[in-house]
Structures are given as structure tokens and as C-alpha cells.
Structure 1
Amino acid sequence: MNRLLTDPRLRVGLCAVILVVVALLGFVAGPPAAKTGTGGAALNGKAVVSRATVACPVLGPGGKVQSVVTAVSPLLPDGTPMPAGKQTALTLSDLDPDSGRVYTSVRERGQLGELKRTDNGEIVSVRANGPLAAGAAATVTARADEGANRGLASSPCVAPTSDFWFVGVSSQAGRRGVLTLTNLDEEPASVDVYVHGAEGEVEVPEAKGVVVPARDSTDVYLSTVLPNSRDLALHVQVGAGRVAATFRDNAQGKTGPAGVDWIPAAGTPTKQVVVPAIAPGKGLRVLTVINPGDVQATATLTLHGPNGRFKPARKETLDIPAKATRVVRLDDALKGDGGGVSITSDQPLAASARMIDAKQTDFAATASALPLTGPAYLALPAHPEPLLLMLTAPDKGGAVLVEVRDSAGTVVQTRELDIAEGATSMVALKPLTRSSYLTVTPRKGDLVAGVALAPPLKTIPPVSKVTAWTLATSLVFRAQLGAAPNVQSALR
């Protein structure tokens, strides 16, 4: 870990300088455009996006890893506001865009770019300036058949911002978790990490005031700063600058490696949260909930399966102490079915679910997410296995348009469907030997969505490969494009 800022005067001065620079950088060009529609859906608060930058994490050492970063500037609905100016390429490069190390680029909307590697390599940045920035998305996927990284790990590449929640992490025996903070900007960033466990907030001085150098990354090893602890949630707050935060989790079983994956960041705590894309199949399904508030929370759990909503027997109500976590097993209630879980509480919460295959050779995680208010895009690597798009309508019923396009922009799979009130509908995405990208456009209703790859119900291979992706509305269709730097945090 890089050295920490311990001199208060140095920290205040550095943060003040960084805040001025960040204020000048900006992510959005121009005010939100007027309301418009696409395919019958009302899209409120569209914004002109002129620049997009995301960081694609890498695995740690351990076995021969094959990885691919897949990036796309997708085809957008008619009427989507676009910035003026010359169209430049979407690039996949190292963290310093001025180094000249561009691995590959995409010059046309709808085309896909890929970076394939046979080693862990370095963190990749995907950048776009100008018209190709709108809707830009990237995914990193890594596979290994042996070693500490045995299994399948995948994550959407992460945009820098100032606030992240990682729920359901651990430093207990058999778990090796690493928080990676990546700074894509030209000035250093300062980060505080707050840790919550089953007994409440845990003071971890080594995780406060972490400095992330410009165009560099810093790793925080959970087992070093807080060893032998389980059922944790991390709150990453950026006092100055911005970072792209990811959490990598390696598991070790009694007989060997038990999988690797990135734990997705959960949405901002709210009084009603939904965790989508809990994959069907045998194995464990474990829900972890964090109550970051100052008073105890009383929450109600509802499961949303293929046939509608239902309450998990003897687990319907959950009391969560202030600033503490609680864990609930859901596999006995789901009985092999996939679905989502909604949590209604008198206090804001965040949550995630961990999915472990029946042989405990791999795992994946999905986290609480917001309903889609506009199209969501997910870049997909070649996948010889079918994927499962899972759409949950926690309250009222909904409707959605699903499209998968190949690297030429051709639609290779499409479907329109209705989702029953309280249910989770599943759409099988057929195997593809080349990269593609998924577009999910909500037509009506509040739908929460994710994609899962899990072993088939009838045939489980010797080493399972499991992963999941949570879907989010593309930034170009959001009224707010991320939190501003926290001035009070920077100066305290």
C-alpha cells in the first residue's frame, strides 16, 4: 500500500488543489436536453456526454490467466443528444493516455474493440472524447483452469466517482480480498475506507487517508488492515479527486482454489433496494445487508421468482443494528430457482448476494441496483455457454426490449417481453463465439436487471465457471452523472 497522508496541513493543502482541478475537468458537456422518447419509453433528463473514461481491473498472480477487455460505443436511439465536434476513436490503453500505448481502438459506433491477453498485465483504461463517448461501455473477463485464479471472473469496467459500497466481503480464512483504487486523473486522490461488520463499524486507521497517485492505482489488502473478519461491508469515500474502485475476491477451499471474481459495487443505500440476477441452480445463495445509519433497521425480505413474489419462510423480517451487517441464506427458499430479492426497510440499506456453485469451485456476486430508466448496455465477450438475462419487476409489471448485436452492429437476437408483477423473467442469451453487446431498453415499469452465467441445472462440470453482471442505465440517459467531490470530507 502506498504511504498514507498523516500531516493534516499537507492533506488540507493537497485536497484543496485537487478539488480545483477536478472542478475544471468535468464529465458532462452542456445541460440536460429536453425530454424525448425512444421506442415508446419516456427518457427524462438526458444529458450530453462528451467524455467517458473507465478502468478495467486485473486479477492478481496465480496460474495462467486468459483475459479479454471488450469495449463498445453502442448504437443509440434516435434523438439521443450528442456533443458537437470531431469524432475521435474510443481507445483501450494503459492508465496514462499520453504514453502512446494504445492497445486497440474503435472508430465507428456499434463496432466492438477487444484486447486479449494471456497474462494479468496492467489495468486498462477505456477512453472516449466526443461523439463516441455517449453510451460507451466495457467489460473485463478472465478465465483460468488452475492456480489461485481458477474459475471465471468478469466485471463491467468502472467509471471514477467519489462513493462506493462493497457488501459481503471478507478476510476470514480461505478468503483473500483486495480493494483496488484506480486514479485516471492528472492529480492524486485521497480516499477513506470505512469498514462495517456484524457488530457495527470497525475502526481501521490504516484504511484512512489512502493516497492514490495520478494515473496509478493503490491496493488495500483486507487481510492486512483487518485480518480474520467476515461479513463485512466497505464504504469507500473519496475526499479529493475521483477513483474507480473495484474489489477482487479469491476463495480457497479445503481441496484447492474455490473461485475468483470481482464483487460489484452496490447502489447508494435506500429504504427499498433490489438485488437482481440471483442465478438458478444448486449451491449456496447468501445475502448480505448493510445498515449504515445510526439507528437499528427493521427490514422485510421478498423473493421474486419465475412465478411471482413470495416471502422466505422464517426469514421474512431482518433486524440490522446500526452501522452493522447481517447475513441470510436464501438457497433453501429459492429451491434451485433463480430470481431477485427486494428489501424494504425503515432505514436506508445496501446489499449484495453471493452465488456459489454446488461443488464450491467458483462463485459470483450481484449487488443492489436501481431500476432502469433508459437503455442499459453491456459489452459481452465470446461465450460458449448460454447467458441468462434476469429481469425483476419488484412492484408493478413491466415490459422490455432486448437486443444482442455483433461486432458489425447486426442484431443476432432480439425479444420483446412483459414481466409479471412481482416476478423475475429470464431470457436465455444464446452462445456466441465472437464478442457482442447487449441492449436492454425498458418500455414500462420499474425493472431491475442483471445477467448471470451459471452451470446448467442437470450437468455440472468438474470445475464450474460462474459470473454475473448487474445492469445500470447508461449515463447518457441519467439526469445526474455521478457525485461531485465531497468538499467537507476533503477538509476535515
Structure 2
Amino acid sequence: MKTVMKGVALRFGAVAAVAGVLVGVASVVPPRVPEAGRPPSRVALERATLVCPEPSFVRGVSSTDVAAISALTEADIPGRRSGRRLEPALDIAPLGQTKAVASGTRRHEVVSYSVRTSEVPPLLVAARGDLAPGVTAGQLTRTDEGPLRGLAEALCVAPASEFWFVGAGSEVGRHGRVYLTNADEGTAHVDLLLFDEKGPVAAETGRGLAIKGGSQMVVELDRLAPTSKRLAVAVRTRQGRVTAALRDDAVQGETPQGVDWIPAAVPPARDVVVPGIAPGSGERVLSIVAPGDSTATVEVSILSPQGSFRPAGLERVEVKPGAVTQIRLDEVTQKSAAAVRLTSDVPVTASVRSVVGATDGPRDVVHTAATRAVAGTAVVPLTLGGARRSATLLLSTTSQRSASATITLHALDGRPLDKTETTVRPGSTAAVKLTAPAREKHYVITVRSDSGGPLYGARLLVENAPDGPLASAWPLFSGATTAVRPVARPDPTAGIGSEEPRDAIFG
């Protein structure tokens, strides 16, 4: 029987050292005494850790593939190198275990792991040395039948103190689960703040959650907010850091209606862009949350293949304080790929839910969320190939100038497979179909923003299964490449020749 919170206590041991220096934190090196007034410097990342939330496997029904890669070139990595260099390594290991299940030492080569056994804990992707800057990882679960039928793709993310998810729900047939993973040594204290169609949800059992180091807690949203039709979730830590992921699935009677990991949206802002609205028929539902104390007046603009426009009747939308509003966009997008730009007088954030498949059979869903523009190069670490599968890049720009990009497909061993340049017209969305050699069952995509306006996008993956399509999406984003090294102050009481801490995987 499921409970509201399911804690998965896992042996942690020395693996805490792996997560002790995570994305955004530079390695410890003996500092030089700075000059007075010297500002902090940016240095290339030397260590990074990402967490993959749930590598599920059911024999004959579902399987999960996890892939990690550091695909950036030296030119993509700003910031000066530190004096000490770490040996490059990229490892995948179960949380709480010291032995890696997959390893690599070369840039541009994928480190992958196919989950073929049940009850695998969350997976840590740990990178160091030249493989840390821009490291990207993801998990892709394919389920053939049952209530979780579909493609479900999740980013493996770095620990942080805040995450936002928009577009879940607890209506009949919908089921959402929040996965909170603490890869650090100390206990993290977390609050889940919920918002629905009426406003903030009073869910005290979601406050003050204590997640021990090296463990994962799963929170069932339909227990916290059983009557909420539209949900947004803010994950905030009072102490420590966690990774957060939200899986959403739906059924209608006994017919599966899709499963997906809702990607984290950017924090609320006055100007946000949700790219990757899938082409084709089916519901396209925009969810907007205004978590503040004031009503949000939101201007909606559609970035279509023909250009930008404000849809009639939806030019301005009001979102009540602390509430979630949903808007149907399928008649507006007219079966074309699109993106939506929201300009608001108070901070908001958003997502779009695209339903794929016929109404009288199994369907799947694709979620895309408000995201930042690509800065430099974005990497999609895993795309499935094959005759029944198709992949499309949905690229958008909000600028009055065209945006140009270079798209490269790579084999898992780093070999280039195809390269093309594309241009997105001002204020529009372009759908770029990708073609990889038939022999490549998996491949990597890199998208480099070359010039022009800001570039937003997602990779859409569709499989034409016999009983209906399976679909998933990957948001384009630029991985972290640098960390801020604070100014070191002389301390006459400090020891000399401190050693860099060792970690359980790398040693």
C-alpha cells in the first residue's frame, strides 16, 4: 500500500564525498592570498554530480537507459583553469554504492547503462577533471503496456535549493509523484509548496520533510492534494540541497493516457518562454502559475512557423494570486510546432502538455516547461534510432532577428554522423527533422547557437508503436561549465598544504 511519503533508505557510506563537491562548487585547492579588492574569479568546473531519479525495470514490460556525456569543446568552456588538474573521469553508480556500473575517460564519448534489473536505486553521474564542464545526463524509460505505457524521459539534475514544476494534477485518473533525492551527507529539510486552480494548497504534511543523506523520498501528490485538478509544485529547502523530479501519469478507465517526467521550469519571472509544443492533433494545454500575492495579467504570444502573433481572445489572461490557470492552445497552434511567450506584470512560470495519439486508444503525453535560452551549446545525450522512430528539433526565437544554429549528430563513440546548419526566422518556430543512419540505435545531438537572437528549443522523440504512438521530449539547455571561486582571505591560524578530499568513486 502506498503512503504519502515513501522514504527509501539506502546505504550511503563514503559516496558522500562524490556529492560533496557538486555542480557549481569549485574543487578545494590551496588559495593564493589575493590583492585587496580583487573580485571572485570564475574557473572551469572540476567536479560535477547529477542524479537520475528512478531507473525502473519490469521484465518484458519496461526498461530504462541512462546516458551521460561531456560533449563540449574547449571553446565552449569559459573561465580559467585552476592550477591543479584532476584526471578526467565520468562514472555512473547507484546512490549508496562505491562501485561504478559504467565508466569513461574521454570527452565526446557516451557513458551508458541499461537497467535490466528491478529495484535499482537512483543513479549518480559523477564527472571530474576535463569531463566535468558541461556534463549532461538523462534517463529514458520505455514501457510497452500497463498504466505507465509510454516514453518517459527525465533529466539527471544537480542538487539545488529550489525547483518549480507546473502542469501536474490530481483529478480522477491522474497521478503525480515527486522524487526528492539527497546525495549529500547531511540531512536536508524540504518544503513542498502546492498551488492549484483555487490558490495555495494547505498541505502541512508536505512541509518540513527530513531527507537523510544518501536517501530518496517519494511524495504522492494525490495524497497531499486529492481534489486539485491543476497543480504547480515548488520544492524549497530550508537546509541542505536535494534534487527533485516529478513524474505524471494518467489513465482513463483501463486505457493508458500517457506518462512523462515534467521538466523543472525556470523560477517565476515577468518574461518566460515555453518551447517545444509538439505538432499534430490532440490537446495542447498551457498551465500558468502566479505564486505571488497579486493577480497576474499575462500577455500570451505564440511563436509559430509563420511568425509571432497574439491569439484572439487570449491576448491577455488573468491568473489569480497563488493559482494555476490552464489554457487550451490546440486551436491556436493548428497542428503546427510552436512555442509560447508569456509577458506578465508579476512573476509567473509555466509549462505545456501535449497529448499524442488517437482519442479512442492508448495515448502518450509530452511536457515542456519554461526554460532559458541556449547559451553556447546544448546536448541531448540519448536519442533512440530505428525505423519506427522519428526525432525532431523544435527551435524558436523571440528576437526580431533570425537565429542560426549548427546541429550535429554523433555516434555513442563520438563519431560525427551528420551536421547541418539551420536558421530560425524572427519571432518564429522551426521544426528540423533529424536523420541518423539506420544502424545507429542510439545517438547524441548537439545544438550550437551561432548568431542572432536567443534560441529556445526541445528535441521531440516519437515512436510509432502498433497500438499507438509513444513520445517524449528533451529541453535544450546549456550545462554548467564554470564555478565561482570566492576571494580567499589570509588566515594565520589555518594549516598549510591542505589536501583535496577524496571521494568514494574516484578515490
TM-score, L = length of structure 1: 0.85
1:472 aligns with 2:477: yes
1:443 aligns with 2:442: no
C-alpha contact 1:140 1:155 (8 A) present in aligned 2? yes
- 1:381-460 alignment, distance < 5 Å: 381-384=383-386, 385-396=389-400, 397-431=402-436, 433-444=440-451, 445-454=453-462
Query: What code does the residue aligned with 2:61 have?
Result: K
Q: Which residue of the partner structure matches residue 309 of structure 2?
A: 310
Report the Cα distance in structure 2 between the residues aligned to 1:298 and 1:479, rounded to whole angstroms: 37
C-alpha contact 2:408 2:445 (8 A) present in aligned 1? yes
Which of 372, 375, 382 is 1:373 aligned to?
A: 375
CA 1:155/1:400 → structure 2, altered by over 3 Å: closer, same or farther?
A: same
Report the Cα distance in structure 1 between the residues aligned to 2:221 and 2:420, rounded to whole angstroms: 43
Report the Cα distance in structure 2 between the residues aligned to 1:56 and 1:383, rounded to whole angstroms: 22
Which of 31, 48, 53 is 1:52 aligned to?
A: 48
CA 1:130/1:60 → structure 2, altered by over 3 Å: closer, same or farther?
A: closer
Query: What code does the residue aligned with 1:387 have?
Result: A
Equivalent position SS for 1:111 = coil
Equivalent position SS for 1:333 = helix
| Shift in Å, 1:370 | 1.0
Query: What code does the residue aligned with 2:126 have?
Result: R
| Shift in Å, 1:427 | 1.4
Q: Percent identity?
A: 31
Equivalent position SS for 1:227 = coil
Report the Cα distance in structure 2 between the residues aligned to 1:194 and 1:303, rounded to whole angstroms: 29
C-alpha contact 2:373 2:456 (8 A) present in aligned 1? yes
- 1:4-83 alignment, distance < 5 Å: 27-29=24-26, 47-58=43-54, 64-78=61-75, 80=77, 81=79, 82-83=81-82
CA 1:30/1:188 → structure 2, altered by over 3 Å: closer, same or farther?
A: closer
TM-superposition CA deviations, 1:457-492 (whole Å, max 9, x none):
xx8852210111111122116889xxxxxxxxxxxx
Give ranges in structure 2 of 5+ residues lacking alignment: 8-18, 29-40, 486-507
Matched pairs, number: 446
C-alpha contact 1:65 1:118 (8 A) present in aligned 2? no
Equivalent position SS for 1:294 = coil
- 1:197-276 alignment, distance < 5 Å: 197-276=196-275
Equivalent position SS for 1:102 = coil
1:345 aligns with 2:344: yes
Equivalent position SS for 2:131 = helix
C-alpha contact 1:95 1:215 (8 A) present in aligned 2? yes
Equivalent position SS for 2:184 = coil
Query: What code does the residue aligned with 1:66 have?
Result: S
Report the Cα distance in structure 2 between the residues aligned to 1:47 and 1:337, rounded to whole angstroms: 42
Report the Cα distance in structure 2 between the residues aligned to 1:3 and 1:337, rounded to whole angstroms: 41
TM-superposition CA deviations, 1:276-325 (whole Å, max 9, x none):
01110111110000011111110111111111112222222100111111
C-alpha contact 1:374 1:477 (8 A) present in aligned 2? no
| Shift in Å, 1:446 | 1.0
Equivalent position SS for 1:251 = strand
Q: Which residue of the partner structure matches residue 158 of structure 1?
A: 157
CA 1:29/1:171 → structure 2, altered by over 3 Å: closer, same or farther?
A: same
Q: Which residue of the partner structure matches residue 291 of structure 1?
A: 290
Equivalent position SS for 1:475 = coil
C-alpha contact 1:76 1:135 (8 A) present in aligned 2? no
Report the Cα distance in structure 2 between the residues aligned to 1:348 and 1:86, rounded to whole angstroms: 41
Report the Cα distance in structure 1 between the residues aligned to 2:49 and 2:22, rounded to whole angstroms: 12
| Shift in Å, 1:393 | 0.6
C-alpha contact 2:167 2:353 (8 A) present in aligned 1? yes
| Shift in Å, 1:130 | 2.0
Equivalent position SS for 1:249 = strand
| Shift in Å, 1:228 | 2.5
In terms of mean alpha carbon deviation, does 407-416 or 323-332 score higher? 407-416
Report the Cα distance in structure 2 between the residues aligned to 1:373 and 1:162, rounded to whole angstroms: 23
CA 1:264/1:130 → structure 2, altered by over 3 Å: closer, same or farther?
A: same
Report the Cα distance in structure 1 between the residues aligned to 2:165 and 2:417, rounded to whole angstroms: 35
TM-superposition CA deviations, 1:191-235 (whole Å, max 9, x none):
001111111111100000011111110011011121121111001
In terms of mean alpha carbon deviation, does 157-166 or 438-447 score higher? 438-447
Query: What code does the residue aligned with 1:210 have?
Result: L
In terms of mean alpha carbon deviation, does 244-253 or 470-479 score higher? 470-479
Report the Cα distance in structure 1 between the residues aligned to 2:159 and 2:103, rounded to whole angstroms: 21
Give ranges in structure 1 of 5+ residues lacking alignment: 5-21, 32-44, 481-492
C-alpha contact 2:45 2:132 (8 A) present in aligned 1? yes
Report the Cα distance in structure 1 between the residues aligned to 2:204 and 2:133, rounded to whole angstroms: 40
CA 1:475/1:78 → structure 2, altered by over 3 Å: closer, same or farther?
A: same
Query: What code does the residue aligned with 2:368 have?
Result: T
Equivalent position SS for 1:78 = helix
TM-score, L = length of structure 2: 0.83
Which of 103, 107, 132 is 1:105 aligned to?
A: 103
Q: Which residue of the partner structure matches residue 95 of structure 2?
A: 95
